[in-house]
Amino acid sequence: MAATKDYRLLCLENPLLDIQAFGDEALLEKYGLKPNDAILAEEKHLPIYEDLLNNYDAKLIAGGAAQNTARGAQYILAPNSVVYLGGAGDDKYAAILRDAVKQVGLRVEYRVDPKIPTGRCGVVITGHNRSMVTELGAANHYDLEHLKRPDIWALVENAEAYYVGGYHFTVCPPAIQELAKQAAEKNKPFILSLSAPFICQFFKEPLDASAPYWDYVIGNEGEAAAYSESHGLGLTDVKEIAKALANLPKINTQRKRVAIITQGTEPTVVAIQGEDEVKEYPVHELAKELINDTNGAGDAFAGGFCAGIVDGHPLEEAVNMGQWLARLSIQELGPSYPFPKQTYSRQEITQ
């Protein structure tokens, strides 16, 4: 059997170094943070990153939603299967980020900006609460020039599938469009995550420009509801929204679009373009005491799903792989995967 070629999956979004630590009320008060929140950092918050690194037992994770997904796909796939693009600085945070991805076997090709710090997300954990403070930094400065650089574009041409996280609509929509057009032209799968309700609401124009290129679109029930509302669909039923997403106009008619909507512990909903039946795939139960952190479960689902698509598995199997990886992830702290590495086994979660 011929060896599998390298870097079959190419991912694009906004890399962040997640700096996670257990804190207390005093730490939250020091920076004016709510216990359970996600905010963009202001000037007063900037010292928190060094504070967490120096004074707390911080766990460092190569974060940013699509980088979590890329790590997840690489967790399942053969070595050297995934490459990730985004913007980073030339600083110690970038060095930590590169070391973190190297440990899990993910190749990264960052657009390096020597003048702007690497994006960071400080996560203060108190009980079951997570207070996240994000400074996008250099992640906010990715550009089309980097994507079109000959060595990077060679990776694009080599890849067999593309995954784009929706947060990148806030950074460089032209890069998303270039990948989307390449996918349609070469009949390669283009997989997009809606990522957050605000993307559907406030970045509607670039989102809609990419929509005709979606071969797979992934979202959760909140993102689906936001899409329906912002696009005047008048739909509240998740199955009907999935069907509407699947049947949007499409450029590459060689592939039927598939819309996948996750719903936490409720079944994953899957609609296929032109098909009336909307399928539901129950998620696999996990005892509550085994759940450690649901932050990043959606990213993990997308990672497993992408691995399934890239490896040529049937749609049902790809969904199963997404659920399997999400199930592993929520037993870890933060968007992480267990080591020693576990091997995907369908039997393991369908018994």
- Domains of the chain listed by start with CATH number: 9-15+64-118+137-330 (3.40.1190.20)
Q: Residue 92 and residue 118: Cα distance in Å, rounded?
A: 9
The mean per-residue pLDDT over the stretch 168-193 comes to 98
Q: What is the token pair recorded at 29?
A: 């008060």
The pairing of beta strand 59-63 with beta strand 16-22: antiparallel
Q: Residue 17 and residue 226: Cα distance in Å, rounded?
A: 28
Q: Residue 207 and residue 122: Cα distance in Å, rounded?
A: 28
Residue with tokens 């059997």: 1
Catalytic position from the list 91, 113, 215, 299:
299
The mean per-residue pLDDT over the stretch 116-129 comes to 92
Q: Which residues of 40-68 are buried (b: 16+ CB within 10 A; e: fewer)?
A: ebeeebbebbebbbeebebbbbbbbbbbb
**pLDDT given for residue 350 in this prediction:** 44
Q: Is the pLDDT of residue 308 over 90?
A: yes
Closest CA to 336 of 136, 58, 63: 63
Q: Residue 335's pLDDT band (boundaries 50, 70, 90)? A: confident
Total-model pTM:
0.93
**pLDDT given for residue 347 in this prediction:** 54
299 as an active site residue: the answer is yes
**pLDDT given for residue 162 in this prediction:** 98
The pairing of beta strand 279-281 with beta strand 266-272: antiparallel
